[in-house]
Structure 1
Amino acid sequence: MTLLNKIGLLLLLITLLTSCGKDFLEVAPKGSLIASKTFEYENMLYTSQSIGFDIPLLVLGDDVTTLSTYFNATNLRFQRLFRWEADIYEQEQSASELQDPIKNIYLYNKIINEVMNSEEGSTEYKRSIQAEAIASRAYFNMMLVNYYGKPYHPETAATDLGIPLITIADVTQNNFTRATVKEVYESMISDLKSSIPDMPINVPHRLRMCRAAAEFTLAKIYWYMADYKSALEWIKTAKGHLPTSFEVGLYDFNQTYTNPNWSVGSGFNNIQDVMVRISISQWILNGNEILLAPWVSELYKPNDMRLKSFTNVPYQGTGTFPVTGMMRRKGPTGAQVAHGVTMPDVTLMQAECEARLDRTEEARTTLLNFRKMRMPEADATVSAVSKNDLIKFVIEERVREFALYGHRWLDMRRLSNDPLFENTTYTHITYDGQNGAALESYTLDPLRLTLRLPRGVIDANPGMPNNP
């Protein structure tokens, strides 16, 4: 099938998936998708890259600050997220960070349950499509449980509420039960381990999930569980299965991070993406609401090329922001925020696992090689030596690498159960837009590390308990 035909089918499927009801989580498509041939099921896999619009992760991390000028003019959802309030949505509002993943899971379940009976495809071909859908379902369950389930803790995971595990594509289903966090994690691990053997190393496009992407996702699930030995094993396995059908690697920002003309690929052409899953965000593209907190600016060395991603000049404004170190992100990928499987994330996960497993020299080498791709070699030194100092260094490196892209919130969640970080206090500060004085400070209540389900969802699903 030609690329144009694939795009046409993608648009058709998006249209079919746009209209939603409110039976579980406002997401079940009212229409039905009809496919009969194996290639038609395969083409459905091109439609599931969205993780939501203006996702909460972008606001929730403590790497974010704001100015009253912009904060007071933004919508109520943004303000509630920034203040870490319990309820973010009005009764009639939908949450795309919930809606889009569930739409995708519906699609995957249709493929999983039907493709083996499809026409004009070999058994091996059908199994590979089914396996990709199973692994992709696990990825989106991982996203959802990190919004609506408590951070994984082995002592409480068996009783902490997670998300409903949906395994059928039935638009009439209306009785949903929230699985425990432990059950969700066991389901994701089972899905991935069962599907990986049938997944191809090479897929046609980074929109699709290749074997390495599935293995990296499994590594990340173990990383969220603080099973660093298993996580590192799967990272190394995945690195042996990187696709050759498209380029995968790290950009050397010393060569490519030129300003103002970015030569870092964006969206579907970024070589750092093993699998593309994105959020489109107006906050990142053309706004001043989300600004870099001054404490984050202090983490960068002056020659760190990542600083070229930021500016202290307001969007469509004049002058500079009134707080030293306060900046907005201006690149390199426009409105696209990557949260799929990326090589920078994987590399820093590897360094953290090595440090936590007392493989400190390996961790230092992994960090050094990574930092050489982000700044001149003379500045890339890793000062940390001990295990704990290396762990803290990795966490700071993650802040530097992913500032204002939402990863910080996920790190804050998982580190809440870590003795090294569990007593950390997180704050958001609103500064005066004229003189830069601190106006309001909000402290994160640990309960808010787990988002509450939207009010409309709870109202439409009687008996489903919400988070505190």
Structure 2
Amino acid sequence: MKRAIYFLMVIVLTTGCRKYVEIDQIGNRVLKYTKDYRALLDNSSVLEGGFGLPIYSNDDTRFMDTTRQVAMIDINRNAYSWQAQYWSDTQSDVDWEKLYKAIYVCNEATDGVMASENGTDALKKQLYAEALVHRAYAYWCLVNIYAKQYDSTTAASDLGVPLLLTPDLYASLKRASVATVYNQITSDLLAAVNDLPALPDYNTRPSKAAVYALLARTYLCKRDFSNARTYADQALSLQSGLLNLPTYVGNTAAIPYRLADPEVIFSKINTYGYTGIQLDTALLNLLGTKDARYTLFVKPGGNFYPTFVGYGYWRYKYSQEGNYFCQGPSVPEMMLIKAECAARADDAATAIGILNTLRQQRFAAADYADLATGTAADALKSVVAERRREFFGTGLRWIDQKRYNKDAALQVTVTRTLNHQDYTLTPNSNRYVFPIGTKYILLNPEIEQNP
């Protein structure tokens, strides 16, 4: 059954419409040849997207400039203060819509690529596998934003997200359990790995390294630290390049664009342009002024437009990054996953050794000193701190905060003031689960709202 590419824009979760026209449209290419599916899966404007709004919710961000607070749009303000609902009955959730649009495109590919014309079996299998990986990433984002943190004792009953595996516009939109969504993520990734190259032609395309990296992320969120470490090791065996950041301090023009960055395993970016993200003072204190991540990626608010009092995240300003923050798995992330898993296995020496290897590439030699090996508990806290230094500004901290709620020693209570009113986010609060936009529930009543 042929569907015009034009109709890929029809997304059931964003429009509520379950109708499509099954005729070829004049001027629109139908998905017929294998090369059509190659082009479909190379559409980075759809498939490279990750998430955006958690950048406002996480504790790396803190708008202390009252002018910026007043100027904040309502959706961002609601996410920043962890409100019960972020959107009006008619407003759209950009993250939700773009992730499900990516899933729909992936489902179109898995539904039709194997029967496409003029392509080798090997290429068809590779494209099928690529669609599975992109879909797995989208569901990883969705389940970590709109569902409770994975807990082996409750995951089978906790509400996940609607799990759509075909382009059927009549499919049920009832929310699958958290366990079911996680199982789908891992099964998609494992099904894909054998038909992918070890490394991609472009890091926007999935590869074996990307599969292993996403499996490491997924098992880390499931607290299956043994598997997380295994897959982080496998990813690093294929890709292990690190940038020596101090070498760019006097030559920022040489900082590579994310598509040429040897640290990026699988390029994914936030779904919306965020400029002038003000950084929390606790994060700035953690970084210190000698860390090249501070020197390069933190700038006074006067460098941004509009200007503000304080300091903001600058990384995306280099090398044509635009307003997009890289959120895909990377070499440093795999190192930090491996270090965290070692610390949790009571192997402080290995954990600290990995941290020191990474940190040597983040400080000039004159400013660098090895971290001392202490207890495993100390090593775990060092890993947590290093993850915050490495990923600030990207929104990944929100997912870390959420999963650390399962560790009493790592829980944090976050407080902030917005327009003269105080807000507090306590560990394991329901506010760690993003609400689902009212618009989608009104259009599709079978979607159950979060508590």
Q: TM-score, normalised by structure 1?
A: 0.86
Deviation by residue 1:252-311 (Cα, 9 ceiling, x = unmatched): 01112336x342222323222111111254433xx3xx3111111111233111112112
1:419 maps onto 2:415 in alignment = no
1:116 maps onto 2:114 in alignment = yes
- Residue in structure 2 matching 1:300, options 277, 287, 310: 287
CA separation in 1, counterparts of 2:235 and 2:322?
29
Over aligned residues, Cα RMSD in angstroms?
A: 2.4
Q: 1:341 to 1:131 in 2, by over 3 A?
A: same
Give the aligned partner of residue 6 of structure 1.
none
CA separation in 1, counterparts of 2:375 and 2:396?
25
CA separation in 1, counterparts of 2:386 and 2:443?
42
> Within 5 Å, which residues of 2 pair with 1:332-411?
332=318, 333-377=321-365, 378-383=367-372, 385-411=374-400
Q: 1:428 to 1:345 in 2, by over 3 A?
A: farther
Letter of the 1:408 counterpart: R
Give the aligned partner of residue 236 of structure 1.
233
Q: 1:194 to 1:399 in 2, by over 3 A?
A: same
Give the aligned partner of residue 254 of structure 2.
263
- Verify the 8 A CA contact 2:274 2:324 in the aligned structure 1: no
> Per residue, is there more strand in 1 or in 2?
1
- Verify the 8 A CA contact 2:164 2:171 in the aligned structure 1: no
Give the aligned partner of residue 25 of structure 2.
none
Give the CA deviation at 1:361. 1.3
Aligned partner of residue 113 in structure 1, secondary structure: helix
Give the aligned partner of residue 37 of structure 1.
33
1:272 maps onto 2:263 in alignment = yes
Give the CA deviation at 1:202. 3.4
Letter of the 2:38 counterpart: E
Give the aligned partner of residue 454 of structure 1.
437
Q: 1:150 to 1:43 in 2, by over 3 A?
A: same
Letter of the 1:271 counterpart: P
Give the CA deviation at 1:428. 2.4
Give the aligned partner of residue 26 of structure 2.
none
Q: 1:454 to 1:201 in 2, by over 3 A?
A: same
Give the aligned partner of residue 253 of structure 1.
245
- Residue in structure 2 matching 1:213, options 210, 213, 217: 210
Q: 1:266 to 1:106 in 2, by over 3 A?
A: same
CA separation in 2, counterparts of 1:280 and 1:265?
21
- Verify the 8 A CA contact 1:257 1:264 in the aligned structure 2: no
Q: TM-score, normalised by structure 2?
A: 0.89
Q: Which shows bigger deviation, 439-448 or 389-398?
A: 439-448
Aligned structure 1 segments of 4 or more residues deviating by more than 3 angstroms: 25-33, 315-320
- Verify the 8 A CA contact 1:164 1:178 in the aligned structure 2: yes
CA separation in 1, counterparts of 2:225 and 2:50?
29
Deviation by residue 1:234-263 (Cα, 9 ceiling, x = unmatched): 111222233xxxxx722101112336x342
Give the CA deviation at 1:350. 1.6
CA separation in 2, counterparts of 1:353 and 1:31?
51
- Residue in structure 1 matching 2:71, options 48, 54, 73: 73
Give the aligned partner of residue 91 of structure 1.
89
